[in-house]
């Protein structure tokens, strides 16, 4: 049976994050990096230049004057948002390179992942007053392990999905039976390989875990809560896959139901903004 690391080795021979993402991640981890350093990296990728300028001049930021300078654009976007945008662009290309089937749709998974990213950021910022960039990154990456499995061991992955659909049980359990590992482990290993913040990898690893003790305000709690909300709103990652929520998080939602109802009302508008930025296609799960 393959391990998460062996699947990643095979996946990376097919597709990995672009070189510019790795360089930007290194800059983010270097406290001495300057704005000029980021501008220099971005200018080496003409496609990225266009995407950055498109983003900063979109309705998402609502600026009255058009920005044509990369350095000014980075100031408005922020370096962490820039990292998330580049990661999202790379992920979108990976998600798109597949035909959708009855069992598994990359389009549906992409919409689910973007939704969880958006909802995670909203929870982090609105309920806890924290910067939501890492929560967004964690949310949009939480199911990336499924893409690795679909691309590297597709037959075994589809066997796991079929078993989960017909026999019930956790998708993670069925993946371990059919593949030898699961998308949580694979995604966490990928986050480490891409040198993302350690909390991101931890939350990806545990986003399906049934936990009797979990803080609603840490990344794991935020992503589990966001995935539950987004799935309930019709953006499920897989057909017939019930959303999971650890007991302390269910209690937390009940105790803060008014805040979560307001947040849920705002999610469609935020998804519309994301659709403009990432040129997403509509395709909800059933």
Backbone φ and ψ of 144, nearest 5°? -60, -25
**What's the whole-model pTM score?**
0.78
Buried b (16+ CB within 10 A) or exposed e, 50-82: ebbbebbbeeeeeeeeebeebebbbeebebbbb
Summarised one tens digit per residue, pLDDT across range 220-261 is 999 999 999 999 998 888 877 778 899 999 999 999 999 999
Residue linked to tokens 């979560």 = 260
How far is the CA of 208 from the CAs of 35, 103, 141, 227, in angstroms?
A: 38, 20, 14, 10
Q: Enumerate domains of the chain plus CATH numbers.
A: 4-16+99-278 (1.10.3210.10)
Asked whether 71 and 56 are in contact (CB, 8 A), the reply is no
Q: What span, in angstroms and rounded, lies between the C-alpha atoms of 235 and 94?
A: 19
Higher-scoring residue by pLDDT: 47, 76? 76
pLDDT of amino acid 220 = 96
Element holding 56 (H helix, E strand):
helix 46-56
Q: What is the mean pLDDT of the chain?
A: 83
Q: Return the CA Rg of the chain.
A: 19
Q: What span, in angstroms and rounded, lies between the C-alpha atoms of 211 and 28?
A: 32
């Amino acid at each position: 049976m393959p391990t998460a690391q062996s699947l990643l080795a095979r996946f990376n021979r097919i597709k990995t994050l672009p070189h510019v993402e790795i360089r930007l991640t290194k800059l983010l981890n270097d406290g001495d990096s300057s704005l000029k350093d980021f501008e220099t990296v971005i200018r080496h990728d003409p496609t990225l230049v266009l995407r950055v300028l498109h983003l900063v001049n979109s309705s998402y930021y609502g600026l009255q004057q058009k920005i044509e300078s990369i350095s000014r654009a980075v100031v408005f976007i922020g370096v962490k948002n820039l990292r998330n945008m580049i990661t999202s662009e790379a992920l979108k290309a990976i998600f798109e390179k597949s035909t959708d089937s009855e069992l598994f749709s990359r389009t549906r998974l992409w919409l689910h992942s973007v939704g969880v990213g958006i909802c995670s950021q909203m929870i982090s910022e609105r309920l806890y007053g924290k910067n939501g960039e890492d929560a967004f990154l964690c949310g949009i990456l939480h199911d990336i392990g499924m893409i690795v499995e679909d691309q590297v061991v597709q037959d075994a992955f589809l066997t796991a999905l079929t078993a989960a659909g017909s026999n019930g049980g956790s998708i993670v359990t069925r993946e371990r039976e059919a593949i030898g590992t699961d998308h949580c482990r694979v995604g966490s290993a990928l986050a480490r390989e891409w040198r993302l913040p350690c909390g991101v990898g931890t939350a990806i690893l545990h986003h399906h875990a049934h936990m009797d003790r979990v803080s609603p305000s840490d990344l794991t709690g935020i992503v589990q809560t966001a995935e539950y909300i987004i799935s309930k709103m019709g953006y499920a990652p897989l057909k017939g896959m019930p959303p999971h929520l650890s007991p302390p998080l269910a209690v937390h939602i009940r105790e803060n139901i008014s805040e979560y109802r307001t947040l849920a009302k705002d999610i469609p508008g935020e998804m519309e903004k994301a659709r403009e930025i990432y040129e997403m296609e509509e395709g909800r799960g059933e």
